[in-house]
Structure 1
Amino acid sequence: MSPIRRTLIAAALCTSFAAPFAHAADAPIVIMVGGINKIIYLPAKLTEALGYFKDAGLNVELQSQPAGVDAENQLIAGAVQGVVGFYDHTIDLQSKGKEIQAIAVFCKVPGEVELVSTKAAAAGFKSMADAKGGKTLGVTGLGSSTDFLTRYLADRAGVASKEYSLLPVGAGNTFIAAMKQDRIQAGMTTEPTVSQMLKTGDAQVLVDLRTEADTVKALGGLYPAASLYVQNTWAESHKVEAAKLAQAFARTMKYIQTHSAEEIAEKVPRDYYGNDKELYVQALKASLPMFTADAKMPAGGPKTVLKVLATYKPLVKSKNIDLSKTYTNAYLAAATK
């Protein structure tokens, strides 16, 4: 083969291999959200709406997945670069040999509410202790954060896992339908579904995890929840992008702290509240206290989460978990320099 021909073939090969990598470099950072219209995950869409991703020079694509456990699977598979979901997944995944870390924390508390149907409440379902006797409790998905928390609340109330059953019913309309059809007698969900069901009279509050005081009472401490988490290896190899993402979300948390529920509601898509914007604003007002002011991990929070998970997950034990690898404020610090 002549030298000229070898040179031409080499050039062609370089071009054919370079194209995909050039496309990958230009591809958006895909973040999957565990139910994008949930108020606990509001910072994701709000950051986009405020233009903070673009301000940071980021090309971010938000996708929605109703159950957090499915979103984490997409992250592990490499189909997405980040997940907006509950921090507790980082601990659970570490027990399975996967290193995931939260780089921005949105909520100091779960923002979840265990609702009981009005029908079940009238029949004597007044507390988690009444889940005994084969009651069916709704969760977004098996292995999801609502699964973790429901099991813990039942266990703390003295109810063994064999005395009730869990049913994955998703969130929003599917959750509402499951409760109205009596497929679940109680279930864990978030705003604005909570306010919607209370307004219609279809449900009552059994356990409220929207405030710091109620969360400490129910779980024994703050429970950092909604956050942005990524694979540790991705953050290490994309430090600039990780820092810019952290900065963008930190700006959003400050915006939430300095604006009213009415002002924030103006920034979200109309389908988030439909024909009842007043109800959405009401739900948002009830939720604002749960958000962090700076996207940083609240002190002591990871230990509470570890305690909850260790109660019933054999692989999750203090001796097996390195909490320092499940979250970091480092990218927030880098972003503010």
Structure 2
Amino acid sequence: MKMRILLLAASLLFPAIAFPGLGAAQAADVEKPNLTIGVGGKPLLYYLPLTLAERLGYFKDEGLTVEINDFGGGAKSLQALIGGSVDGVTGAFEHTIRMQQKKQDIRAVIDLGRYPGIVLAVRKSEADKIKTVADLKGKNIGVTAPGSSTHILVQYAFAKAGLKQDDASFIGVGGGASGVAAMQKGEIDAISHLDPVISKLDELGLINVLIDTRTTEGTEQLFGAMNPAAVLYFKESFIQANPKTVQALTNAFYRTLKWLEKATPEEVAAAVPEEYWLGDKALYIKAFNASRPSFSTDGNIDDASRKAALNLIATTDPTIDPASIDLSKTFDGSFLAKAKSQ
């Protein structure tokens, strides 16, 4: 009896000691416990759920060791997935549509952002000349990377304004402080970017905002509906070969979304690396508050949102034939359903 009491006490106080094989058993249960995820601009709030899942230990809780490769933009992380150097990507949902047209079966399994969270802003010194999207003709516009979601959003706005996609020059400025530096140095006339970069530029008094998709109002004004943003996506072949691994990742991200839904801004700031603050914790908190509505709370992508994403792509890419796209193949909700049931 004394031994049983001691074992019970040990299990309550030191669960890792009482059950030393638990983590190993979890890791052995997934097909690929060591894997790599690509991302294009990890410090951006667009990808905050990825950083939180990592920093809060949720990947490890699922028996996974996740290496994160940070690229200069979402288009580059997509290229890494197609090339086979990463197993999955946290990137824009629209890539699942674009790649279907190219006969590549890429599928999202959980939504991380329900709004793009992208802001199109102009240099304040040019604000008297650039009052509308049409006024950007002939200008230099900074984006995280050509072909990334920040670039595509401007292309969509151009189409609505009657401009051609090559009516301006698009310059890759990266995903972090380099975007701020490009505006400070006068290398660009406008910028399509995300927080905390946008909030930093705003605080410095360098920009005037033209389009803001961090909010419901701004998103609906541009797209006429909701538009899913960052998701976790894989090649369908990887999903088929590694269903337990995909489930474990979906579990970790869904748990992160639920934590994020209730977390205070101070808790979020404390959870991310200090370099994400761009030297100003209060600014990071301000940026998070501005972008908070953009994060998904349930991870789902409904039919209307998928159609809005298809419309965005079809409008900006004449090679996309909407009739040839099967939207049911862009999102596999089975893993999310199981994560919710757990």
TM-score with structure 1 setting the length: 0.89
Find the aligned partners of 1:178 and 1:196 in 2 and give their Cα distance.
13
Find the aligned partners of 1:50 and 1:163 in 2 and give their Cα distance.
44
8 Å contact 2:144–2:173 — kept in the other structure? yes
8 Å contact 1:108–1:298 — kept in the other structure? no
Is 1:31 matched up with 2:32? Answer: no
1:72 counterpart letter in structure 2: L
8 Å contact 1:152–1:312 — kept in the other structure? yes
Find the aligned partners of 2:239 and 2:107 in 1 and give their Cα distance.
9
1:84 is matched with which residue? Answer: 90
8 Å contact 1:103–1:228 — kept in the other structure? yes
TM alignment of 1:22-101, pairs within 5 A: 28-101=34-107
| Alpha-carbon offset, residue 225 of structure 1 | 0.6
1:246 is matched with which residue? Answer: 250
| Alpha-carbon offset, residue 70 of structure 1 | 0.6
| Alpha-carbon offset, residue 183 of structure 1 | 2.5
Q: Deviations over 1:257-293 (max 9, x none)?
A: 1111111111111111143101001111111111111
Find the aligned partners of 2:49 and 2:336 in 1 and give their Cα distance.
16
1:90 counterpart letter in structure 2: T
Find the aligned partners of 2:119 and 2:154 in 1 and give their Cα distance.
10
Unaligned runs of 5+ residues in structure 1 are: 1-21
1:234 counterpart letter in structure 2: F
Find the aligned partners of 1:279 and 1:37 in 2 and give their Cα distance.
14
| Alpha-carbon offset, residue 140 of structure 1 | 1.6
Unaligned runs of 5+ residues in structure 2 are: 1-27
Of 258, 278, 303 in structure 1, the residue corresponding to residue 282 of structure 2 is 278
8 Å contact 1:131–1:159 — kept in the other structure? no
When structure 1 is superposed on structure 2, of 134-143 and 78-87 the one drifting more is: 134-143
1:154 is matched with which residue? Answer: 158
Find the aligned partners of 1:294 and 1:54 in 2 and give their Cα distance.
22
* CA distance 1:145–1:274, change in 2 (3 Å): closer
When structure 1 is superposed on structure 2, of 291-300 and 91-100 the one drifting more is: 291-300
The number of residue pairs the alignment matches comes to 313
2:91 counterpart letter in structure 1: G
1:201 is matched with which residue? Answer: 205
Q: Deviations over 1:6-64 (max 9, x none)?
A: xxxxxxxxxxxxxxxx9xx7662100111111011010010111111111112211221
| Alpha-carbon offset, residue 299 of structure 1 | 4.4
SS of 1:244's partner is: helix
1:10 is matched with which residue? Answer: none
2:11 is matched with which residue? Answer: none
Find the aligned partners of 1:85 and 1:74 in 2 and give their Cα distance.
12
8 Å contact 2:118–2:194 — kept in the other structure? yes
1:128 is matched with which residue? Answer: 133
1:223 counterpart letter in structure 2: N
TM-score with structure 2 setting the length: 0.87
Find the aligned partners of 2:168 and 2:278 in 1 and give their Cα distance.
35
The CA RMSD measured in Å over matched residues stands at 1.7
TM alignment of 1:1-337, pairs within 5 A: 28-122=34-128, 124-132=129-137, 134-335=138-339, 336-337=341-342
* CA distance 1:277–1:223, change in 2 (3 Å): same
Runs of 4+ in 1 over 6 A off after TM superposition: none
Find the aligned partners of 1:176 and 1:274 in 2 and give their Cα distance.
10
When structure 1 is superposed on structure 2, of 293-302 and 217-226 the one drifting more is: 293-302
SS of 2:271's partner is: coil
SS of 2:306's partner is: helix
| Alpha-carbon offset, residue 312 of structure 1 | 2.9
2:9 is matched with which residue? Answer: none
Q: Deviations over 1:153-206 (max 9, x none)?
A: 011112223432222222322222222333221110000001100001111211
8 Å contact 1:94–1:100 — kept in the other structure? yes
* CA distance 1:179–1:233, change in 2 (3 Å): same
Q: Deviations over 1:114-163 (max 9, x none)?
A: 011111113x111212112x112222222211121111101111222343
Find the aligned partners of 2:270 and 2:177 in 1 and give their Cα distance.
23
Find the aligned partners of 2:299 and 2:319 in 1 and give their Cα distance.
29
2:20 is matched with which residue? Answer: none
Find the aligned partners of 2:61 and 2:165 in 1 and give their Cα distance.
48
